[in-house]
Amino acid sequence: MEDCEVAIIGAGICGLAMGLALHKKGIKSVIMERSESLRNVTGAAIGIRPNGWRALDQLGVAENLRHTAVRLRRERVISLDGGKQKDISLTPWDGETRCLRRKDLIDTLYAALPLGTVKFGRQLESITSGSHSTKHVLRFIDGSSIMAKVVIGCDGGKSIIANFLSLKPTKTFPLCAVRGLTNYPNGHSYNHEFARFTKDNVIVGRIPIDDNLVYWFCLQRRDENVWEDPEVIRQSTLELLSNYPQEIREMIEETEMKSLSVTHMRYRAPWDLLMGTFCKGTVTVAGDAMHIMGPFLGQGGSAGLEDVVVLARTMSQLGLNNGESRSKVMTHGVEEAFNRFVKQRRMRVVRLSLQTYIIGMLWGTSSILKKILYIMLLILLFPYQHSHTDYDCGYL
């Protein structure tokens, strides 16, 4: 049976960033990834707000990524109800906001890791811990297993590590999202802005990544079907948006088929985050495994990047990178580091999750009374709607 000091489960954005943050602090880790290769094909794009760029700066990859996407200057909301197009808000954005291709972010993080850090084809089946053992046994569906002193779950919203920690199940919003990328070989004419179109309780977002590539999404009431065939996804979306402007329909018609996906959006309830146990001994979770949330603030990815900076820093502060003393601090030191990490992150992710929860319920309801209630809650609890971008996770 293999043996390792720190095992990270999942080689998505959070898992790769976690491995890189630990590497920069002199802590060796292995990343166990269920797929047979890097997951840089599926998924479309991810918005990174100023707080996320602060974290990427600490990881040392921000400058390369800045060259892959234009800086967004504002947010615009366009109402199409009543058969007319009307700009109803125009919000200039302070700080750095860009929309990155998920592939660019994944590839950049992976390239910054030491060779061999990621072990592919290792889908976790279970984790067990002996009552008197300082190690955890990780068993994979291929029959292999390893023993790890420290386990960090970055395995998404359906996390096996979260289940091990007895976290309550995630829930689904009354919305589903279609996402895609559209390439304009001769360039597009869209401004560097996040444009959101609303009509009949359907929301279409459009965000340029660069002068040729555009990311778009469509939020609608949840359909019990989750289509997997890209052509079915495209045609059903076009039917839904039959009375939208022609430029929107053309954008969807010309979508890169491999980028198309439809998902029911999940979240961990804010009250569960307030009370949940996010570490047990030398096991913890980060990113979506800890606090999966709706995309309505564009903070899911950035919050996960904040997690890895804070967690790697707290582990380093307790001397876990001090070679010879590592065996002495691997249990007590890690437990203290994980407790500090959870204490630092809990209220931050509770506030983010609460704001996204209210927005998701607002967008997902057809009740006028509920809409008024949710709007009042947002005004009362979050008077400055973009204050979440001011957060600084600190130095690595």
* Average pLDDT score over residue span 342-351: 97
Q: Give the pLDDT confidence score for residue 224 in this predicted structure.
A: 60
Given a cut of 70, is residue 133 above it in pLDDT?
no
pLDDT at 321 over 90: no
Query: How open is the CA angle 68-304-14, to the nearest 5 degrees?
Result: 70
**Residue range 260-264: average pLDDT?**
88
If pLDDT is split at 50, 70 and 90, which confidence band does 324 have?
very low
Q: What is the pLDDT of residue 40?
A: 77
Q: What's the Cα-to-Cα distance from 246 to each of 194, 205, 252, rounded to whole Å?
A: 18, 15, 10
Which stretches of the chain are assigned E, i.e. beta strand? 2-9, 30-32, 45-48, 74-79, 86-92, 98-101, 118-119, 124-129, 136-140, 145-153, 171-183, 193-199, 202-208, 213-221, 261-267, 279-280, 283-285
Contact 193, 173 (CB under 8 A): no
Domain residue extents for the chain: 2-70+102-172+267-390, 176-264
Q: What is the pLDDT of residue 229?
A: 84
Please compute the mean of the pLDDT values over residues 383-395 and round it to a whole number. Answer: 91
Bigger pLDDT: 281 vs 56: 56
Q: What is the pTM of this model?
A: 0.93
Asked if the model's pLDDT at residue 184 lies above 90, the reply is yes
Q: Which DSSP category does 255 fall into?
A: B
Structure confidence at residue 366 (pLDDT): 83
326: pLDDT strictly greater than 50:
no
User: Exposed, middle or buried by CB within 10 Å (0-12, 13-18, 19+), for 151?
Assistant: buried
Least confident of 19-33, 159-173, 317-331: 317-331
Percentage helix, strand, coil for the chain under 3-state DSSP, each rounded to 5: 40, 25, 35
pLDDT, greater one: 297 or 92 = 297
Does the pLDDT at position 329 exceed 50?
no
Looking at CATH, the fold of the domain delimited by 176-264 is given as D-Amino Acid Oxidase; Chain A, domain 2 (3.30.9)
Pick from 52-56, 82-86, 93-97 the range whose average pLDDT is largest.
52-56
Assess contact for 19 and 28: CB atoms under 8 A: no
Q: What is the mean pLDDT of residues 57-67?
A: 97
pLDDT classification of 59: cutoffs 50, 70, 90 = very high
Backbone angles phi, psi at 290, to 5 degrees: -90, -45
Q: Which of 283, 269, 280, 263 has the alpha carbon at shortest distance from 154?
A: 283
Q: What is the mean pLDDT of the chain?
A: 90
Bridge partners for 31 per DSSP: 8, 118
Nearest to 264 by CA among 227, 305, 216: 227
Residue 338 reports pLDDT greater than 70: yes
User: Does the pLDDT of residue 325 top 50, yes or no?
Assistant: no
Over residues 16-26, mean pLDDT: 96
Q: Quick one: residue 319, left, alpha or beta (phi over 0 = left, psi -120 to 50 = alpha)?
A: left
Residue-wise pLDDT for 217-260, tens only, equals 999 876 666 667 888 889 999 999 988 999 999 999 999 998 99
The proportion of the chain whose per-residue pLDDT surpasses 90, expressed as a percent, equals 71
Domain 2-70+102-172+267-390, second-level architecture: 3-Layer(bba) Sandwich (3.50)
pLDDT value, residue 323: 52
CB 199 within 8 A of CB 81: yes
Residue range 257-265: average pLDDT? 89
Number of neighbours of residue 145 by Cβ within 10 angstroms:
14
